[in-house]
Structure 1
Amino acid sequence: MDTLVFLGTGDAMGVPRVYCSCETCTEAREHGSNTRLRSSVLIDNGSDFLVIDCGPDWRRQMEAQGVRNMRRLLVTHAHFDHIGGLPEWADACRWTGIKGELYTPAEVIPIIERQYPWLRNHIEMIPCDEGIELDGWKIDTWKVNHGKNGYSYAFRLEKEDYKWVYCPDSISLGAEETRLMHGADLLVLGTSFYYEAAELSTRSVYDMTEAAELLQIVKPKKAVYTHMSHDVDLRKAYILPENVTLAQSGTRIPLYKNPFSSL
């Protein structure tokens, strides 16, 4: 049985933010329930694993899981909070003698190579635009609107009769962009704020009020929000759809249908 493990659930800056003394950041420093490393997940099949995104907290995330090597990675897009850990992974590959496998859409590869031109010495970069299969998961990817930050990609993974979607960075998605989300058993969606008052043209990720509207359209059986800024305080009781939960580092979700559950 496969399990989804949340390695990090924070936005690009993480929580706490160095400069900030808001209630959320203060609680994160003192108690830690709001501590959020940059967003990443691990798919554990019991004998091997895949990781999606490799931000600057990658080393800390691997240490927290007791993982000493990583062989395969999916990347949603080439922003720093999703690829900032690649040099450390490449160095790990060099010392362990493992040739890493990085899967991402073809147009993302040259962006990564410009930032880290030495990575190919230790990591093979493999385009996945036409879909791939890893550990029995049939994986499709497509471009999604990332607002003022351009674009990102989402992944849809399907094995046997279970299908789920990972989409950490998107906003204002149209019908074609949400086509592969419809009816998913699980949707993992980025929501940086509960409600973001800034003008839409200046924004890049859904807030939770907008996400609720999206869920009414695509109707996943369960949704988990990630990529949360310090605006989100896990101690608060937010008004959310009944099938929604907020992820924390270490949250584990079984990736198979539970015959005894309605979700």
Structure 2
Amino acid sequence: MTITFLGTGTSQGVPVIACNCEVCTSADARDARLRTSILIEDKGKVIVVDSGPDFRQQMLRANVQRLDAIVFTHEHKDHIAGLDDIRAFNYRQKGPVDVYADLRVQAALKREFYYIFEEFKYPGIPQLNLHIIGAEPFDIGHITFTPVEVLHYKLPVQGFRVNDFTYITDAKTVSDEEKEKIRGSKILVINALQKENHISHFTLDEAVAFAKEIGAEKTYLTHISHRLGKHHDIAKELPRGIELAYDGLQLEI
């Protein structure tokens, strides 16, 4: 199984106008971060977790030729806004893309992309098959996803464990019960927004402490704001076994 980090950044803390900070002007490609998403490929099955505003750019950059499914963590725009661009895969594959989300996220998709779900299907609209997910594991083809619920301030967000790989974004708190679903993972991916305290995201120190508590062989930090600092500088501060992820990073698990 191959995991590709399509994006490791976030809208949080990103200026809406040109920024001349050291991160935004860095020549290090690892500091150029699109919105957070991963691509899972295994035995011909291709799955994306979250389709944010950069979805089209990410698919083109990674040369993704097929898309079987999108799995959503939650309904914030930086995680769903690119859904319309599945239409290119509809055209190429001559059929719908499977979309997996809980009922709350599905309600948000129906509000934001109302035209997809209207009774009259306008020619060329995105085609998808909605699948409800809850707390129980679910399969996409031969791949089993185990949901891990975390809190993004007070909003429940779904993380996912696939085999010995666990992916969590937008977490601020994780219950002991949900931690038990994560323990034993060889690879953990967790969000680390910035160094300063934040109401709804792990800080760098909180993410490192969480990683140490879980004890995975390797932890990668994602959902990174430009406020965190340059990749090269932060990497020197991290303990062994914990690294910053970056766009284009691939893992074989």
Which bin holds the TM-score, normalised by the shorter protein? 0.7 to 0.9
Q: 1:86 maps to which residue?
A: 83
Q: What SS does the corresponding residue of 1:249 show, helix, strand or coil?
A: coil
Q: 1:168 touches 1:190 (CA, 8 Å); kept in 2?
A: yes
* Alignment pair present for 1:34 and 2:31: yes
Stretch deviating more after TM superposition (238-247 or 48-57)? 238-247
Equivalent residue runs for 1:121-200 within 5 Å = 122-129=127-134, 130-147=136-153, 150-158=155-163, 163-193=164-194, 195-196=195-196, 198=197
CA distance in structure 2 between the aligned counterparts of 1:206 and 1:31, rounded to whole angstroms: 24
Residues 19-64 of structure 1: per-residue CA shift (max 9 Å, x gap): 422111121xx55331000011011225231111100101111111
Q: 1:156 touches 1:181 (CA, 8 Å); kept in 2?
A: yes
Unaligned 5+ residue runs, structure 2? 122-126
Q: 1:25 maps to which residue?
A: 24
Q: 1:17 touches 1:25 (CA, 8 Å); kept in 2?
A: no
Letter of the 1:48 counterpart:
K
CA distance in structure 2 between the aligned counterparts of 1:216 and 1:69, rounded to whole angstroms: 36
Q: 2:226 maps to which residue?
A: 230
Q: 1:15 touches 1:36 (CA, 8 Å); kept in 2?
A: no
- Under a length normalisation based on structure 1, what TM-score does the superposition of the two structures give? 0.84
Q: What SS does the corresponding residue of 1:33 show, helix, strand or coil?
A: helix
**Per the alignment, do residues 224 and 16 of structure 1 end up closer, same or farther by CA in structure 2, a change over 3 Å counting?**
farther
Equivalent residue runs for 1:246-261 within 5 Å = 246-255=244-253
CA distance in structure 2 between the aligned counterparts of 1:69 and 1:124, rounded to whole angstroms: 16
Letter of the 1:245 counterpart:
E
Residues 188-219 of structure 1: per-residue CA shift (max 9 Å, x gap): 111111x11x4x5xx21111211121122221
CA distance in structure 2 between the aligned counterparts of 1:144 and 1:247, rounded to whole angstroms: 20
Residues 67-93 of structure 1: per-residue CA shift (max 9 Å, x gap): 24422111100111110100111x324
Letter of the 2:205 counterpart:
T
CA distance in structure 2 between the aligned counterparts of 1:11 and 1:46, rounded to whole angstroms: 30
Cα deviation for residue 166 of structure 1 reads 0.7
Unaligned 5+ residue runs, structure 1? 256-263
Cα deviation for residue 174 of structure 1 reads 2.5
Number of aligned positions between the proteins: 241
Q: 1:109 maps to which residue?
A: 106
Q: 2:206 maps to which residue?
A: 210
Over aligned residues, Cα RMSD in angstroms?
Answer: 2.0
**Per the alignment, do residues 172 and 238 of structure 1 end up closer, same or farther by CA in structure 2, a change over 3 Å counting?**
farther
Q: 1:16 touches 1:36 (CA, 8 Å); kept in 2?
A: no
Q: 1:240 maps to which residue?
A: 238
Q: 2:149 touches 2:174 (CA, 8 Å); kept in 1?
A: no
CA distance in structure 1 between the aligned counterparts of 2:16 and 2:62, rounded to whole angstroms: 23
Q: 1:260 maps to which residue?
A: none
CA distance in structure 2 between the aligned counterparts of 1:111 and 1:157, rounded to whole angstroms: 25
- Under a length normalisation based on structure 2, what TM-score does the superposition of the two structures give? 0.87
Q: 2:169 touches 2:223 (CA, 8 Å); kept in 1?
A: yes
Cα deviation for residue 131 of structure 1 reads 2.0
Q: What SS does the corresponding residue of 2:31 show, helix, strand or coil?
A: coil
Q: Sequence identity of aligned pairs in percent?
A: 29
Letter of the 1:12 counterpart:
S
Q: What SS does the corresponding residue of 2:246 show, helix, strand or coil?
A: coil
Q: 1:69 touches 1:92 (CA, 8 Å); kept in 2?
A: no
Q: 1:12 maps to which residue?
A: 11
Cα deviation for residue 173 of structure 1 reads 2.0
Q: 2:124 maps to which residue?
A: none
